[in-house]
Each structure stands twice: as structure tokens, then as C-alpha cells.
Amino acid sequence: MEGNLESKINQEYNFKSAGERRIAEILNKYGIDFKYESPVLVNDNQGKQRIWYPDFYLPEFGVYIENYGIDCQPGYDNGRIKKQQIYRRMGLPVIPIMPSDKHSYLGNYIVNEIYRINQSRYHDARAKVYRLRTMPRMGY
């Protein structure tokens, strides 16, 4: 997949920032398939349905990546916090990338977050199955 990166980026995607391009390069390096700005339906804080376009969706893992390109600007920071709260409330697993995360270990951070999210899912699924198996039988 790595050999196709430039053609994939140039032909399919028009990234809005160098940070997004770097994330795409990292995903490609690790062989992680992604969809750029794939739409997702959310309920905002006023209860209205909205379509948002997180920067990346990783279909193999069911995980989103949101690249936050600005830090320490009150208006942007407030919007970022609200967005993260809505993602959490909706149960959408989103890996946030902050400007301070744009270091040489960004690939490790992304992979570790994918692992953490999927470990959490596995743990939750096991707990649900355990509860089901230990419930009193209903006689059906």
C-alpha cells in the first residue's frame, strides 16, 4: 500500500492541513485503510441531528481520528471540547490528535489508541456475555 500513497493522496484526497496529510502518511505506513472525512450522524447539545465529517474513519477498527490543528485559542478550544463531549455521549470512539501530539511518535500514539479502544470493547463484550451466562434461566 505504501507505494500508492502519493497517488492515493493526490487523486482521492484534498487534505486541509499538513497535519492531516501526515496522519494519512502514518496510516498508510502501518497499512491501515482509512476514509477521509466520512460522514457520521450525531445529536448535538441541542438534541438536533447533524452530519459531521471527522477527519479519518478507520473501517477495519471502527475508530475515528479527529485532527485538532489549533491549540490555546478559547473559541476553537471550546468547540473542540463540545465536539469531544458529543462524540463520547454518542459512544463514538475518536482518537483526538492535538498540535502537541505532532511529534515523531505520532504513529505509536495512534496504534496504541486503536489497541486501547479495541481492548476496552473486548472487555465490555466479555462482561456482557458473563452477565448473560450468569442470569437466572427463564425457562424458554
Q: What is the pLDDT of residue 4?
A: 46
Q: What is the pLDDT of residue 9?
A: 55
Structurally, how many domains does the chain consist of? 1
Q: What is the pLDDT of residue 11?
A: 55
Q: Which of 77, 69, 80 lies closest to 16, judged by CA?
A: 69
Looking at the domain assignment, is residue 26 inside a domain?
yes
Residue range of the domain that includes 84: 2-134
Looking at the domain assignment, is residue 140 inside a domain?
no
Q: Which of 54, 53, 50 lies closest to 41, judged by CA?
A: 50
Model's pTM, two decimal places? 0.77
Looking at the domain assignment, is residue 85 inside a domain?
yes
Q: What is the pLDDT of residue 125?
A: 78
Looking at the domain assignment, is residue 102 inside a domain?
yes
Q: What is the pLDDT of residue 10?
A: 52
Looking at the domain assignment, is residue 71 inside a domain?
yes
Q: What is the pLDDT of residue 98?
A: 83
Contacts of 42 (CB under 8 A, 6+ apart): 49, 50, 51, 52, 86, 87, 90, 92
Looking at the domain assignment, is residue 139 inside a domain?
no
Looking at the domain assignment, is residue 9 inside a domain?
yes
Block means of pLDDT (10 residues each) for the chain, length 140 residues? Answer: 48 79 91 94 88 94 89 72 88 88 80 92 80 73
Looking at the domain assignment, is residue 11 inside a domain?
yes
